[in-house]
Amino acid sequence: MKVSKVGVIGAGQMGNGIAHVMALAGYEVKLNDINPDTLEASQAVIQKNMFRQFKAGKISEENQLAALKRIQRTIDIGDLGDSDLVIEAATEDERIKQKIFDSLLPHIKVDTILTSNTSSISITRLASRTDRPEKFLGFHFMNPVPMMQLVELIRGIATDQETYDTCLEVVGNLGKTAARAEDFPAFIVNRILMPMINEAVYTLYEGVGSVRSIDQSMRLGANHPMGPLELADFIGLDTCLSIMNVLHDGLADTKYRPCPLLTKYVEAGWLGRKTERGFYDYRCEVPQPTR
């Protein structure tokens, strides 16, 4: 199956990044969100990020302008009906994702491929709620999408080979690398990354180190480009907690128990960069540790 039209559901951080790379690769994109303000904001973000690529010499001005014209925005999910491929990139909440697919199904073609950008939720379970589990795949981009080279492709138990091969070709057209992952909680990247972040939070919780010393230790001692607490703020503490809960519930192993301090920050609404407070306070000119 050849893909030329791509629907993206969710115009937040991940969704606008996916629309960005799809349009640059030549696909016609329809970007959907129920919030008009989020849709409008996504346009400015995509323009800014493409302009940054142009200034860095990574894309031409012609490619930039052509890609921007390939992106249409809509609050009506029915407008995605002619898509060959749909990528759901909404909040990491299984109930929300199921409602999205339920509302989408009456509008799409019989051969449309459905995918989810979920970072942890069972692809098999999401697929089972649709009318096409064989044409359902996990399509997990890394953040920030325009910069990160990896895409995890996760087959559910019913996903057929044609669906996988079609999405593999799309990843190649984006100039990215695909990693095949099995459908187990959090797949590959987050199965490894999130317990490390959770352990960093435990290290803070138990008073072994401060926010600054923990991040400095991993940057300078392990040569990580970003400290784990700084990275957690970038990802979103609510997303980190959600993935840890999926790991803990799905694998029934106490080593995946979310740190109580992570839960407390989420309860406070301190979710990281997107709320301007997390393990750092971003309301200052230079971010300051909050603990």
pLDDT of residue 110: 96
Average pLDDT for residues 15-43, to the nearest whole number? Answer: 96
The answer on pLDDT for 17 being more than 90 is: yes
pLDDT tens per residue, range 216-272: 999 999 999 999 999 999 999 999 999 999 999 999 999 999 999 999 999 999 999
Per the CB < 8 A criterion, the answer to whether 98 and 130 are in contact is: no
Per-residue pLDDT of 131-167, as tens digits, reads 999 999 999 999 999 999 999 999 999 999 999 999 9
**Which DSSP helix (H) or strand (E) runs through 13?**
helix 13-24
- 152 annotated active-site: yes
The rounded distance, in Å, linking the Cα atoms of 62 and 57 is: 12
Q: For the residues 34-60, what does the mean pLDDT come to? A: 95
Q: Name the token pair of 218.
A: 């991993």
Mean pLDDT confidence for 65-89: 97
CATH superfamily, with its number, for domain 191-280: N-(1-d-carboxylethyl)-l-norvaline Dehydrogenase; domain 2 (1.10.1040.10)
Task: Over range 29-39, report the average pLDDT.
Answer: 96
What is the CATH architecture of 5-181? 3-Layer(aba) Sandwich (3.40)
Helix axes 228-235, 211-221, angle to 10 degrees: 110
| Model confidence pLDDT, tens digit, residues 156-203 | 999 999 999 999 999 999 999 999 999 999 999 999 999 999 999 999
Which part of the chain is CATH 3.40.50.720? 5-181
Question: Tokens standing for 179?
Answer: 């990693």
What per-residue confidence (pLDDT) applies to 1? Answer: 81
| pLDDT confidence of residue 94 | 93
Catalytic residue among 83, 190, 198, 242: 190
Q: Strand 85-88 vs strand 71-74: parallel, antiparallel, or unpaired?
A: unpaired
Which residue out of 32, 83, 116, 119 is catalytically annotated?
Answer: 119
Distance CA 34, CA 45 (A): 18
Residues 94, 120 contacting (CB under 8 angstroms): no
Cis? peptide before 144, omega within 30° of 0: yes
pLDDT at residue 18, rounded to an integer: 98
Strands of the sheet containing 28-32, edge to edge, are 71-74, 28-32, 5-9, 85-88, 113-116, 136-141, 150-155, 177-181
Phi and psi angles of residue 163, each rounded to the nearest 5 degrees, phi first: -65, -45
Q: Could you tell me where in the chain the CATH 1.10.1040.10 domains are found?
A: 191-280
- The single residue of 117, 152, 198, 230 carrying the catalytic annotation is 152
- Provide the whole-model pTM: 0.90
Cβ count near 15 (within 10 Å): 25
Cα–Cα distance for residue pair 48/18, rounded to 1 Å: 15
- With H, G, I as helix, E, B as strand and everything else as coil, classify residue 150: strand
Active site residue 140: yes
CA pseudo-torsion sign 71, 109, 127, 103: positive
pLDDT band at 214 (very low <50, low <70, confident <90, very high): very high
The H or E element spanning position 12 is none
Tell me if 185 sits within 8 A of 119, measured CB to CB: no
* Over residues 62-79, mean pLDDT: 97
Catalytic residue among 140, 198, 230, 242: 140
pLDDT of 104 higher than 90:
yes
Res. 36: pLDDT tops 90 = yes
